Amino acid sequence: MIKVGIVGGTGYTGVELLRLLSRHPEVELKVITSRKEAGMAVAEMFPNLRGYVDLAFSDPQQAELSACDIVFFATPNGVAMQQARQLLDDGVRIIDLAADFRIRDIGVWEKWYGMQHACPELVAEAVYGLPEVNRTHIRPARLVANPGCYPTAVQLGFMPLLEAGLADTGMLVADCKSGVSGAGRKAEIPILFAEAGDNFKAYAASGHRHLPEISQGLSRFAGKPVDLTFVPHLTPLIRGIHATLYMRVDKSVDVQGVFEKRYADEPFVDVMPAQSHPETRSVRGANLCRISWHRPQDGDVVVVLSVIDNLVKGAAGQAVQNMNIMCGLDERLGLDSPGMLP
């Protein structure tokens, strides 16, 4: 059995990790930390886990994380980098669901996240945990940087055509919408029900901190820098990301064939028939990205539609997928379930 610890078990990604891992046949949950809720039974805070998780939250200073095989950090940005070095020295492998190790350029990371990096030497070692790209590097990794939710949906949508050198890298647009759970489990006015319900708005249109992560990935696929415009929006949904992606592609390209070939062996990417309209509700609760594409007016602009559950394929589910790969398991283990309807 894989002995697992979770640092930061009270947020939405933390409880989603608990939901998935509690039913994983090869996992033994050992430690769940929360400084504020130490001593409280997990099931008292999250009644959906009653009968599945019988642990109580532990104070991070007293938690025996070094006894774990893998530790997940479901914490705010800046926490994992403070503890990673000691855990790695103790032989523990780490999957960080925050952004501490995603961006290779330390200066860029510090600019966008507004703090000094505590262990820049580990950034070079960290493996970016997008399995559809880095599976062979994830397997032996000690430290995996789990991708962000927007970056997952956007990169999976752009990747096939960029890798094949078929898209104009000077004109990429990502118009993305997210449910309010993407903002985290906290009390802030913009995500209160009376503020976010029956409302729709763009935010961070001048620059969102997921932009450098997305640009880093797209540039890698293309083999050169890309010109990306990324604008996120907040929607009155609880879960879900819908990415509408625009790029110029020659009319002669078999777009459907490119996507089907690239994702033929990917268990968690569903390439739908051309001109389909994937819905966020079809992937709710599932570790799945559904993709389709359109060519409006038969022109040279291809529109790709990419949907995920931001808490599953965009966070906790992808983290469990990475754990499965790291431990030599079938990466579908504990994750092979359909979305929830209605």
H or E, element range at 12: helix 12-21
Closest CA to 209 of 117, 100, 72, 84: 100
Whole-number Å distance between alpha carbons of 220 and 19: 34
Three-state DSSP state, 30 = strand
68, 119, 149, 289: the active-site residue: 149
Whole-number Å distance between alpha carbons of 266 and 76: 30
Residue 108 in tokens:
């860029």
Phi then psi for 22, rounded to 5 degrees? -65, -20
Closest CA to 320 of 184, 236, 311: 311
Taking the CB of residue 36, how many other CB atoms lie within 10 A of it? Answer: 8
Amino acid identity of residue 69, one-letter, is D
Closest CA to 57 of 10, 104, 16: 10
Outline where DSSP puts E strands in the chain.
2-7, 27-33, 70-73, 93-96, 127-128, 143-145, 167-178, 201-202, 228-234, 241-249, 269-271, 289-294, 301-308
Is there a contact between 115 and 91 (Cβ–Cβ < 8 Å)? Answer: no
25 upstream amide cis, omega within 30 of 0: no
Verify whether residue 149 is a known catalytic residue. yes
H or E, element range at 229: strand 228-234
Active site residue ranges: 149
